[in-house]
Amino acid sequence: MKKLINKPEDVVKEALAGMAAVHADLINVDIEQQIIVRKDAPVKNKVGVISGGGSGHEPMHGGYVGYGMLDAACPGAVFTSPVPDQMLAATRAVNGGAGVLHIVKNYTGDVMNFEMAAELAAAEDIEVVSIVTNDDVAVQDSLYTAGRRGVGVTVLLEKIVGALAETGAPLAQVADMARQVNNHGRSMGMALTACTVPAAGKPTFELGEDEMEIGIGIHGEPGRRRAKLVGAAEIAETLTTPIIDDLELKAGEQVLAMVNGMGGTPLIELYIIFNELERILKGKSISITRSLVGNYITSLEMAGCSITLIRLNDELIKYWDAPVHTPALRWGR
């Protein structure tokens, strides 16, 4: 194992310390409790928006804490759900009196622990609504889930919902927007290599030199199938077609398209995948109205990519375009 670390058990806390030093103008980091909170939290009469999950997916979620996105994030150990106490501490920290939205990826540990945190918050008279993202079309059930996994849509949802929350919209409206985005978005990913969890010290799975894994999750868990490596055009077709079919996208519709790197794929290759994605959608008269290309929800150093499409309307475009200022995503402010 070759990694830029000291001790495997110190990875998360030392990374949080580094993040706190770099982004002191945007976030406050409680290294002991392992929560990241936007600098001006709690914002009075604003719905607090929080999310969390295992570390190793950076910049998700801590990189999205700030104006126009998340109010707080709870990072667990690498590929391990945060605990209810973290989520409760984050919920308290962002409670400005208008309630708190929990954005939860559909992984068994995340769902269970966020549920417990919401119950504890309710006992303190903090109103909490939880939204579970489940956009992965690759598999119905997996090692970590009952039902579809929550993946790329989570990031885009956090941006859109965070923008709505900044307007002072009530909790019910913010939660409805989150449900709408989740329902209108689908994702699928693939891997060229596995990743190595620091505490394990070895790759999560083995792939031959001429093999790729289709439909992987963000923890390196298996997908739909293992296949021989093919070119970018065929890979893009393999990922995009199930998304289009599942969303029942039709000619004349417009989408937000994200080509996401899994952590170890260079940007030049992600642009090649995006070029193929645009070709596929253009051939079906589906317009890419907004786009994002880069590493936004990763799996440590895994080489590979995922594609996410969200069906857009004028309202979603408005909140996507709204200003955002976080460590990892910023525009318009």
Rounded distance between C-alpha atoms, residue 135 and residue 256, angstroms? 14
Rounded distance between C-alpha atoms, residue 185 and residue 243, angstroms? 8
Sign of the dihedral defined by the CA atoms of residues 116, 120, 122, 123, in that order: positive
What are the CB-based long-range contacts (under 8 Å, 24+) for 166-170?
Answer: 166/46, 166/67, 166/68, 166/322, 168/45, 168/46, 168/98, 169/47, 170/47, 170/98, 170/99
CATH homologous superfamily of 10-183: Dihydroxyacetone kinase; domain 1 (3.40.50.10440)
CB count within 10 Å of CB 247 equals 20
pLDDT of 177 higher than 80: yes
Percentage of residues of the chain with pLDDT beyond 70: 98
Spatial contact of 308 and 156, defined as CB atoms under 8 Å apart: yes
Q: What is the pLDDT of residue 133?
A: 97
**Which pair of tokens denotes residue 309?**
């499409």
When pLDDT is cut at 50, 70 and 90, the band that residue 143 belongs to is low
Residue type, 282: K
When pLDDT is cut at 50, 70 and 90, the band that residue 159 belongs to is very high
Total count of residues recorded for the chain? 333
- pTM equals 0.96
CATH 3.30.1180.20 domain locations along the chain: 185-321
What phi and psi values does residue 92 have, to the nearest 5 degrees?
-60, -40
Looking at every residue in the chain, the average pLDDT score rounds to 95
Nearest to 88 by CA among 134, 40, 33: 33
Residues identified as active-site? 57, 219
Q: What is the pLDDT of residue 40?
A: 97
Rounded distance between C-alpha atoms, residue 255 and residue 116, angstroms? 35
As a whole number, mean pLDDT of residues 154-181 equals: 98
DSSP track, 10-34: GHHHHHHHHHHHHTTTTEEEETTTT
Rounded distance between C-alpha atoms, residue 61 and residue 75, angstroms? 7
Instruction: Write the CB contacts of 168 (distance below 8 Å, at least 6 apart in sequence).
Output: 45, 46, 98
As a whole number, mean pLDDT of residues 70-83 equals: 96
Q: What is the pLDDT of residue 144?
A: 59
Q: What is the pLDDT of residue 128?
A: 98
How many Å is the maximal CA-CA distance in the chain? 56
Q: What is the pLDDT of residue 1?
A: 87
CB count within 10 Å of CB 40 equals 14
When pLDDT is cut at 50, 70 and 90, the band that residue 204 belongs to is confident
CATH homologous superfamily of 185-321: Dihydroxyacetone kinase; domain 2 (3.30.1180.20)
How far out from the chain centre does Cα 136 lie? Answer: 12
When pLDDT is cut at 50, 70 and 90, the band that residue 332 belongs to is very high
Rounded distance between C-alpha atoms, residue 13 and residue 8, angstroms? 10
CATH 3.40.50.10440 domain locations along the chain: 10-183
Integer CA distances (angstroms), 8 to 77, 299, 303, in order: 10, 16, 21
As a whole number, mean pLDDT of residues 10-14 equals: 97
